[in-house]
Structure 1
């Protein structure tokens, strides 16, 4: 368990709007208690607040940064930050400024490096599903292909933190569905803009993928990311519903809007190999939510808090710099948290401790996001039109990442 040290607040008092907001949506939770010491706070925009805090864990002192968004305010929304392509990366501050967010954090774990595992370049794409402004961007890679800490029991790479079209946050599980209809038969679509295809599967790549090589998609297996790449592959380009190109192996380069590139491995490759230029092919795809709720935003992350309680089986041994997102008040309050990581005396939190912190902050549900050098929280100062990095990234500067979570305040 965490041990929190209460210290006197810095000079000054909380903003009246801040106090009113939290007494309304979080009465009785950690914000009213002295267990977490907040040392800085301000209103970023109406309905959006920033706070800095310090706490003591079993591994030493930790410093954290928190963004809180009141989703009951119709002008406050949450959405995906990205560079427009799944395989492209930018800093969180670059993405936030480009998209007009008033704050944000980094999001899902991603294919950051292949090292010596495979003779291909890292794709740079994230592990889990993604939805931006209601548009399905990508699906989830197989469990054995993921990056990040071990998944807790009962969780999946398909798990996301999401906000529906009702502007209510929730934990969801998004399953890819789709078909590839050809003159030779109808096949299941097993992947969408993913750095890894299921064994024997067919995956689709759209203009949302970017220009990165698709070769990584046929490496590893559903059970082990480091397994070798298969040479049983085939690629088909479909434009306007017709096959316009075929290749024996996955290619690279930008994909034009309206064009779909199909990549198959093992059995999926043999199914695609039957196609010829001019054949009619129809590809459909989507993400099905477990609760059948239309979603405006979703980002991959594994659950650490559900129904206001930390999940069973969370690691309580390895501290690290962490990022988390969660929600409280029936999904009407959204939390974004990142830890400082620039000093050797700030080892961070275990995943179990992170879950405990999120519950103390008022979260009913929360996910763990990419941490370490990726952990970043940015906020737009009240008198500026650009965001500033509020935490201290582990390597002294922001890491370029494929996705973030942004908060928008459209007055």
Structure 2
């Protein structure tokens, strides 16, 4: 028998105190309940935790990094490797990933220049930035706090000062204060050092107009053989060419430049000779420690928040720090082994943000002794496995000036050799049901699969069982037990703690079904503040009308259009669910009836009109109008469960700028707005919008029904000619369904054997056949409700008028049975 590898589910990296679901943390001397949402290994020496503190409320995210792991590295990124400009952290991860160097996590860093600061260049970090020992911007002022990593991979956090020195031997020594951004507001501002991060060229002083465009002397340097850039040690360089002009000179990737603007600095540079060896010393001093670390990585921030577990006064003396706000901060443990990257969401009703005092208390709980506060607000973002993990206050990721990336230095190893459950802890109610997620890692702890397929599970019958869908069901009588995941020869086991279920509830009050959907009824209980599903098969179910729907083992399916109720009971619990069944009679149906008198056209265009039958025409003669538009409005629940919406239109000569679709999922209080602007004139344009692009989770039955609110068309005023008549043609606004097995796609044109047309006195059907066959037809509403049925008997080739008496004017579906053939048509009752 082959021995199987057993991989424990414990996180060995968790060397400090951890918060689990139902645990508490002390913040500003008050205990707060903490709900741990995620807690998992995300890479070599990297553990990620997301948590929610409901009584604040705030969402926070912490990445704990083992600086002693040989495959784990923190690196600074400067936006696009250039002082001016900004870059998304996710883009920086992508740009700086290559073989043996996978950038997979990161945070935003320093504050950066924006227009309101009136400092240039825009996007430049305002404090300082160093990558691999090469200064991108010097730590410009001791007022700023800096987070750094030295050459021994040890975090060093402090306020810092910079002084650069050029030692040219007999030609003298000269000091400088600035790297890549020249300034004219200090005694030693007449010499600036530029390198490849300056933005391709040497820069003029953009912040002092009197210095812009002045003559300067610029001397090019290259590293001497075997040298590399480093901090607090002299670096030998070879002097190259000298230029005398107003600057703006190109810099190659392997070059740097000394640029002098005063007579004194220019005279010093003119004394340097091509081929001469000189030394450059980039000196950085820790203000509070008086030390000179060999810094490899640096980002700047607002201030040092905490030294050796003691909070600094700037947590309370500065208004920026003393109010709840979206935050980014970094922490380090007392022994310097662990670095913590923290982000907190803010500016929303569900997450107010944190003060820096609260940031420190959270970091202390995790094991940090030192902390630096970084840029916050809309810039606060944390990337985990190349995705934005937090909820930025702007609603999307913001491009920033610099930041820190977490880099996996391990070699490529595609084989899965370690397993872990995504849920770090299983506390489940009796009759609870979950689909466990197992993650797959390689030998270095690089996460290869976030949801590993082909995993099977096992447990003792005293604990529960694995159902046919692979779900783990707590169906036994034991109060605890072991759940094991199997993947090939690998296994991972984790303890399950069982608690008694209470306060059962059916999640939805009503559900909408079609013929293809099987809905396992979601029954929930609350466990330590969290909603947990109960096995739907554990309840006894009764259906009020089995002609509408049926239920088997707690799974609900549709039978026919209509409404019913199902009732579930277990012990003392009884709950009910309203069931609405809408089965489309075709693969696609109109979303709205173009002839519906309740369909409203609103516009700021004078004399605009609308006419509809099988398509909708909108006409107007243009008169000067500011921001012209027209809009179709009718709040209506779209029929059944479409997988997509399709809109076909021809604007002809009309100068259409944008189409705005307004929809409301049933489980939201706010509309989803979709805009479309790539529009071509004088031809049919098609918009295909999958439901998966409208809602976050298209499999959540709570989204149905989907409500249509409006369709707005904005126009370009400048593209119109006054007095010209314009026509817009909406040819199709259709709901696309999966095959329901009950009909065909509507075919307006028909075939040579079967056609329909709309006469002035009704709908006609043409049939062509070699011999007489029985013909039956059915007329349906657009919503799929059968309205009429007719039997034409045995028919030969000919025309037949259908009985549509009593039907109101509008669009209908006609289903025709000709012998063994079936066809579905759209038809218009005039």
Normalised by the length of structure 1, the TM-score is 0.75
Partner of 1:21: 13
Name the counterpart of 2:89: 92
**Deviation for aligned residue 1:340:** 2.1
Aligned match of 1:305:
306
Cα deviation, residue 355, structure 1 = 2.4
1:37 aligns with 2:35: yes
State the distance in 1 between where 2:152 and 2:268 align: 43
- Equivalent residue, structure 1, for 2:162: 175
Match of residue 196, structure 2, among 207, 213, 222 = 207
Which range is displaced more, 319-328 or 123-132? 123-132
Matching residue of 1:389: 388
State the distance in 2 between where 1:44 and 1:217 align.
43
172-181 or 328-337: bigger deviation: 172-181
Q: 2-side partners of 1:317 and 1:276: how far apart? A: 48
The aligned counterpart of 1:327 is 332
Cα gap change, 1:213 to 1:257, in 2 (>3 Å): closer
1:325-372 CA deviation, whole Å, 9 max, x = no partner? 111151111111112247355331222222222222221111111111
Q: Distance in 2 between matches of 1:231 and 1:40?
A: 53
Q: Does 1:372 align with 2:359?
A: no
Q: In the aligned structure 2, how far is the partner of 1:86 from the partner of 1:230?
A: 20
* Residue number in structure 1 paired with 2:134: 135
Mapped partners of 2:37, 2:372: distance in 1: 25
SS at match of 2:364: helix
Question: In the TM superposition, what is the alpha-carbon distance from 1:308 to its structure 2 partner?
Answer: 1.4
In structure 2, do the counterparts of structure 1 residues 244 and 298 end up closer, same or farther at CA, with 3 Å as the change threshold? same
Aligned partners of 1:45 and 1:171: how far apart in 2?
24
Q: Deviations over 1:138-197 (max 9, x none)?
A: 3122x4xxxxxxxxxxx633x421222322222143533312759985321111123646
Q: Which residue in 2 is equivalent to 1:193?
A: 180
Aligned to 2:112: 110
Verify the 8 A CA contact 1:342 1:393 in the aligned structure 2: no
- Mapped partners of 2:203, 2:393: distance in 1: 30
Distance 2:294 2:89 in 1: 26
CA 1:131–1:188: 2 relative to 1, 3 Å: same
CA RMSD in angstroms, aligned pairs only: 3.3
The whole-number CA distance in structure 1 between the counterparts of 2:204 and 2:218 is 15
Q: Which piece of structure 1 moves more, 280-289 or 366-375?
A: 280-289
**Corresponding position of 2:149:** 163
Measure how far apart 1:304 and its partner are: 0.6
Does the residue aligned with 1:330 lie in a helix, a strand or coil? coil
CA 1:47–1:259 in structure 2 vs 1: closer, same or farther (change >3 Å)? closer
What is the DSSP-based 3-state SS (H/G/I as helix, E as strand, rest coil) of the residue aligned with 1:170? strand
* Aligned CA distance change for structure 1 residues 276 and 295 (closer, same or farther; 3 Å): closer
Are the equivalent residues in 1 in contact too, given 2:129–2:402 (CA < 8 A)?
Answer: no
Distance of aligned partners of 1:43 and 1:242 in 2 relative to their CA distance in 1, 3 Å threshold:
closer
**May I ask how many residue pairs the two structures share in their alignment?**
356
Superposition pairs of residues 245-264 of structure 1, within 5 angstroms: 245-248=243-246, 251-252=247-248, 254-263=250-259
Q: In 1, are the aligned partners of 2:108 and 2:328 still within 8 Å (CA)?
A: yes
Aligned equivalent of 1:272:
265
Instruction: From the superposition, tell whether residues 175 and 70 of structure 1 become closer, same or farther in structure 2 (CA, over 3 Å).
Output: same
1:225 corresponds to: none
Q: Which has the higher contact order (CA 8 A, sep 6+)?
A: 1
Please give the alpha-carbon distance, in whole angstroms, between the structure 2 residues aligned to 1:192 and 1:21: 39
TM-superposed CA distance for 1:107, in Å, is 0.9
Q: What is the alpha-carbon distance in structure 1 between the residues aligned to residue 157 and residue 388 of structure 2?
A: 27
Distance in structure 1 (CA, Å) of the matches to 2:336 and 2:182: 31
| CA drift at 1:114 | 5.2
Q: Are the equivalent residues in 2 in contact too, given 1:122–1:216 (CA < 8 A)?
A: no
Alignment check: 8 A CA contact 2:180 2:203 kept? no
Alignment partner for residue 218 of structure 2, among 237, 242, 250? 237
Note closer, same or farther for the CA distance 1:123–1:263 as it changes in structure 2 (3 Å cut): farther
Is the CA contact (8 Å cut-off) linking 1:108 and 1:128 kept in structure 2?
A: yes
CA drift at 1:209 = 1.4
Structure 2 residue runs of 5 or longer lacking an equivalent are 1-7, 26-33, 97-101, 222-238, 411-830
Distance 2:279 2:197 in 1: 15
Structure-2 separation of matches of 1:170 and 1:184 = 36
3-state SS of paired residue (2:199): coil
Secondary structure of residue in 2 paired with 1:101: strand
Aligned to 1:222: none
CA distance in 1, matches of 2:298, 2:269: 37
Give the secondary structure class of the aligned counterpart of 2:95: helix
Sort the Cα spacing of 1:231 and 1:174 in 2 relative to 1 into closer, same or farther, 3 A.
closer
Tell me how far 1:217 sits from its aligned partner: 5.4
Q: CA deviation at 1:50?
A: 1.2
Larger proportion of helix? 1
